[in-house]
Amino acid sequence: MDSKTQSLLEDASRRSLHYLKTIGERRVFPSPEGLANLAKWDAPLPANPTDPSDVLALLDEVGSPATVATAGPRYFGFVTGGALPVTVAANWLACAWDQCAGLEALSPAASAIEAVALKWLVELFGLPPGTAGGFVTGATTANFTALAAARHSVLAQAGWDVEAKGLFGAPPITVIVGEEVHVSALKALGMLGLGRERVIQVKADAQGRMRPDALPRIAGPTIVCIQAGNVNSGAFDPATEICRAAHAAGAWVHVDAAFGLWAAAAPARAHLLRGVADADSWATDAHKWLNVPYDSGIAFVRNPEHLRAAMSVNAAYLVRGEKREPNQFTPEMSRRARGVEIWAALRSLGRSGVADLVERMCQYATRFAEGLRAAGYEILNEVNLNQVLVSFGSEDKTRHTIDALQREGICWCGGTVWHGRAAMRIGVSSWATTPADVEQSLDAILRAAGAS
């Protein structure tokens, strides 16, 4: 390596450290000036080369102040998680390795680490031993991947080869979802030719849980999509009853568990997932509650043959050995080695560390709810997980409170509508949050509400 390259990479490390050291003191959402500066990137396409060190400086000087501090301790907007230091370090090294994780022949290391990460995750979540997995971008693609396996299986049972023949002339598939289905599951269904709108929606209860007594009678090729961890309330669909009814009729049950699946790792929360392991496939995000960098979703399928049938390809130049070929389990062929950070997080935290990470976030959510309730504000959900929905009174007052809070920049919470009512949504999901951050943020929220 030449000395210029070395100093470039050292500079990147120095700038990254500075960013992370100061993240707790800066605004959670960028200032208007920070956002306006983004225009500095938009120069005409350079005709000639620029020194890489100048490129990095421009990236840092314009980009860093315009980032949303999701890696910091007081971001409670979407359930994003902040990357654990060990995963940032692993990510840097993996980036230097620059491995293509699709093929064993291209990266035995990426392939091996994914196999270990997969085995550990299956064990951590209490999924059936032997469950297959694909390391994909996020829960949307994990839903897509798992539902492709579901589509394969229910049509194969009906004597139809969907990978070969497509859906033209195929027996129709009934798709059943809950009223509170996440939009990403509907998008995945649309991409699979199953339609975003031709689904049967099952009524949900006050917390957003699918009501098993409202399930329609199931017959013929059928996929039932349930949810573990509602984006608003954090609620879990009753998986035991739904799996029992669906399986009795030969249907496939898929669980969108983008962040909820991680609750299985915390002994005090694991009861929320009762019956979830009875399903046939699951989608989750490691970039959410395991706190690894983007992008990191995982699709799990109980029977590896169903996932392989939906995702595998064959070509003479794609050597196939005895080992697990990662590209046989994902929509992607070429992709980064996503198992690296997952392995590093699990290797570093261990079972007790993951349990603590999840449990701590849940307790912080409880503290937010208590503090807001004590101040006279209404909590709209049962707070069993990391999500809090709060109303500050009228719709206007709730909206003004959210605006004032976001403007101040101490912490960031978003808005939502829950059963027709405007609410602020607080989702706690980062290792970096401390009890002091929770108190500081609670004060900021109460101040914003008081002024609105």
Ligand X SMILES: *Cc1c(COP(=O)(O)O)cnc(C)c1O
Residue whose CB is less far from ligand X, 339 or 371: 339
Residue 443, preceding bond cis, omega within 30 degrees? Answer: no
Q: Which of residues 311-330 bind ligand X (CB under 6 A)?
A: none
Residue whose CB is less far from ligand X, 140 or 433: 140
- Least separation, in Å, of the C-beta of 294 and ligand X? 8
Residue 231 within binding range of ligand X, rule CB under 6 A: yes
**Stretch binding ligand X (CB under 6 A), from 223-231, 330-338, 341-349, 361-369:** 223-231
Residue 182 within binding range of ligand X, rule CB under 6 A: yes
> What does the buried/exposed string (b/e) look like for 253-287 if buried means 16 or more CB atoms within 10 Å of the residue's CB?
bbbbbbbbbbbbbbeebbebbebbbbbbbbbbbbb
**Do residues 56 and 35 lie in contact, with contact meaning Cβ atoms separated by under 8 Å?**
no
- Least separation, in Å, of the C-beta of 295 and ligand X? 7
Residues 255, 402: Cα–Cα separation, whole Å: 32
Residue 237 within binding range of ligand X, rule CB under 6 A: no
**Backbone φ and ψ of 127, nearest 5°:** -80, 165
| Nearest residue to ligand X on Cβ basis | 138
Residue 429 within binding range of ligand X, rule CB under 6 A: no
Residue whose CB is less far from ligand X, 180 or 325: 180
Rg (the chain; Cα; Å): 23
Instruction: Identify the sign of the CA torsion 437, 228, 356, 359.
Output: positive
Residue 138 within binding range of ligand X, rule CB under 6 A: yes
Residue whose CB is less far from ligand X, 259 or 262: 259
Residue 259 within binding range of ligand X, rule CB under 6 A: yes
Where do we find the tokens 């829960």?
139
The 8-class DSSP code of residue 336 comes to -
Exposed/middle/buried for residue 169 (C-beta within 10 Å: 0-12, 13-18, 19+): exposed
Residue 361 within binding range of ligand X, rule CB under 6 A: no
Which of 71, 235, 258, 261 contacts ligand X by CB under 6 A? 258
Size of the site for ligand X (CB under 6 A): 14
Q: Which of residues 59-118 bind ligand X (CB under 6 A)?
A: 79
Residues 385, 406: Cα–Cα separation, whole Å: 23
- Least separation, in Å, of the C-beta of 416 and ligand X? 12
Residue 297 within binding range of ligand X, rule CB under 6 A: yes
Residues 168, 157: Cα–Cα separation, whole Å: 17
**Stretch binding ligand X (CB under 6 A), from 202-210, 225-233, 242-250, 364-372:** 225-233
**Stretch binding ligand X (CB under 6 A), from 119-127, 145-153, 226-234, 432-440:** 226-234
Residue 139 within binding range of ligand X, rule CB under 6 A: yes
Spell out the SS3 assignment of 356-390: HHHHHHHHHHHHHHHHHHHCCCEECCCCCCCEEEE
Residue 285 within binding range of ligand X, rule CB under 6 A: yes
Residue ranges that bind ligand X, judged by CB under 6 A: 79, 138-140, 182, 184, 227, 229, 231, 256, 258-259, 285, 297
